[in-house]
Amino acid sequence: QVHLVESGGGSVQAGGSLRLTCVVSGATYIMYTHCMGWFREAPGKEREEVATIRRNDIASYADSVKGRFTISQDNAKNTLYLQMNSLKPEDTAMYYCVARTCSAGNVIQWGQGTQVTVSS
């Protein structure tokens, strides 16, 4: 079984930056066999898949974060990152690290989440 633990959330002013970290433990091979990504969920809004990386190679982003967020993974450290720059108040949400199948997109594990709050 794989376990995902996020950290790095916090409060920041608009225009600021944060880096989220997700440490993968247990079945760490999943970083090679599945897609890793970040979802976010804000009150009153639909859950959104923010960024996904496929086997440490191909990354994809939601239109709302393109050019501002960068996803990466360090397989040697069993860690997934989300670098968030030029943050906006609308980026305020709970951010979740996920492991999912690449083809069907089924999420097989969620982290516990880390809160990001951006003030104007």
Give Cα 120 to chain centroid, integer Å. Answer: 23
Q: Which of 89, 105, 107, 86 is nearest to 97 (CA)?
A: 107
Question: pLDDT tens across 24-69, in order?
Answer: 999 999 999 999 999 999 989 999 999 999 976 799 999 999 999 9
The length of the chain in residues reads 120
Q: How far apart are CA 64 and CA 15, in angstroms?
A: 15
Task: Please give the share of the chain, as a percent, with pLDDT higher than 90.
Answer: 93
Give the CA distances from residue 26 to residues 1, 3, 13, 23, 62, in Å, rounded to whole numbers and listed in that order. Answer: 6, 6, 36, 10, 29
